[in-house]
């Protein structure tokens, strides 16, 4: 019989529990995440990871569990930051001081090619590529400043990740895995003026070593009925959801026809000139899941409409991909 491995990290806050408990309750409320509270403990679970507080007479234990080593590192980083915001330090049982940030993988640029008139496709090669097949649709691309040697984020003694600043500050955009195979993954960049990532991709970066972090940013929705709304910047994510989902999915996309590629003849997809109007005109059932990604203004209008229409926050995801 096989058993799923679990990772654990334990820390102590040498202060009475009241402030830590209040901070966790406030964060859970802001994220709309349910808490489990008993007389002995307070716990919160996110994406299979658990943070549990156990009050003691003059201190509080912070107990973390996660299904992956990178996730326990991410959770330790987040917990340390959360409590540091209110002046509470955590003494952890173990910290991998000096290691690369959790979930960071070094990759080599293998090729850059045009994908229609408005997109570039970048292929990265590296031993960790397969890890990005599951666990989230997206990853964070880390690009050092042009002409400078890369300084990558590393774990500090506090448990938090230390990020390079000043002249070594990294460009950190988020992208969607478009395709992957043994030892490689592809992602697509929408071409537009003023984009540091476009400038980098067009400057012949083949052979360059860069870093990616993830996966993360949400996975394929699990509802029986899924509605997708997005502009051209959301096209890679919509394409991946359509390819992975076995549910009933409909997608409305605002983009140039030539950018659709193989999706042009997909019966699940329609083009629209106004995503918000399309969203407002669509009738949803109570258990449907609505996914919306576009610019910040459209995302704000979409979120406002869904809340005013009485949609549960657990039944939709609205993301601002650009501003």
| Cα–Cα nearest to 252, from 276, 236, 239, 269 | 269
> Looking at residue 1, what is its pLDDT?
40
> Looking at residue 31, what is its pLDDT?
86
| Cα–Cα nearest to 208, from 298, 137, 123 | 123
> Cα(318)–Cα(293) distance, rounded to whole angstroms?
6
Q: Cα dist. 1→4, 67, 162, 272 in Å? A: 10, 18, 40, 51
> Looking at residue 20, what is its pLDDT?
97
Identify the structural domains of the chain with CATH numbers, from first to last. 7-92 (3.30.310.50), 104-216 (2.40.30.10), 225-322 (3.40.50.80)
Structure tokens at 299: 């995302």
pTM for the structure as a whole: 0.89
> Looking at residue 217, what is its pLDDT?
80
Structure tokens at 285: 């059932």
Which residues in the chain show pLDDT less than 70?
1-5
Which DSSP string do the residues of 143-185 spell out, in sequence order?
Answer: BPPTTS-----EE-TTSSEEPP-GGGPPB--EEEEEEEETTEE
Is the link from the previous residue into 215 a cis peptide, with omega within 30 of 0? yes
> Cα(25)–Cα(32) distance, rounded to whole angstroms?
10
3-state secondary structure of 27: helix
Contacts of 201 (CB under 8 A, 6+ apart): 112, 120, 122, 189
> Cα(293)–Cα(230) distance, rounded to whole angstroms?
5
The alpha helices in 218-294, defined as continuous H runs, are 235-244, 275-281
Burial of 60 from C-beta contacts in 10 A (0-12 / 13-18 / 19+): buried
């Amino acid at each position: 019989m096989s058993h799923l491995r679990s990772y654990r990290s334990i820390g102590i806050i040498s202060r009475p529990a009241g402030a830590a408990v209040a901070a966790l309750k406030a964060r859970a409320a802001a994220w709309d995440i349910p808490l489990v509270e008993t007389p002995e403990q307070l716990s919160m679970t996110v994406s299979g990871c658990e943070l549990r507080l156990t009050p003691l007479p003059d201190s509080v234990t912070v107990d973390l569990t996660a299904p992956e080593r990178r996730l326990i590192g991410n959770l330790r980083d987040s917990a340390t930051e959360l409590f540091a915001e209110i002046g509470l330090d955590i003494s952890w049982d173990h910290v991998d001081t000096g290691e690369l940030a959790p979930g960071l993988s070094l990759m080599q640029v293998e090729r850059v090619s045009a994908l229609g008139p408005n997109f570039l496709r970048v292929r990265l090669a590296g031993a960790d590529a397969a890890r990005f097949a599951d666990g989230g649709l997206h990853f964070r691309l880390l690009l050092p400043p042009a002409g400078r040697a890369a300084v990558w984020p590393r774990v500090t003694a506090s448990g938090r990740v230390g990020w390079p600043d000043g002249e070594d500050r990294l460009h950190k955009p988020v992208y969607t895995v478009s395709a992957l195979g043994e030892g490689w993954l592809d992602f697509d960049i929408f071409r537009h003026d003023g984009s540091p990532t476009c400038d980098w991709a067009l400057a012949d970066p083949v052979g360059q070593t860069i870093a990616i972090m993830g996966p993360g940013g949400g996975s394929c929705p699990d509802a029986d009925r899924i509605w997708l709304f997005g502009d051209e910047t959301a096209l890679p994510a919509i394409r991946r959801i359509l390819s992975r989902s076995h549910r009933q999915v409909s997608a409305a996309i605002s983009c140039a026809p030539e950018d659709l590629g193989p999706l042009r003849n997909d019966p699940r997809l329609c083009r629209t000139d106004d995503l918000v109007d399309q969203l407002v005109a669509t009738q949803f059932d109570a258990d449907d899941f609505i996914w919306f990604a576009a610019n910040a203004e459209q995302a704000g209008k979409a979120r406002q409409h869904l809340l005013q229409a009485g949609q549960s926050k657990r039944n939709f995801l609205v993301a601002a991909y650009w501003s």
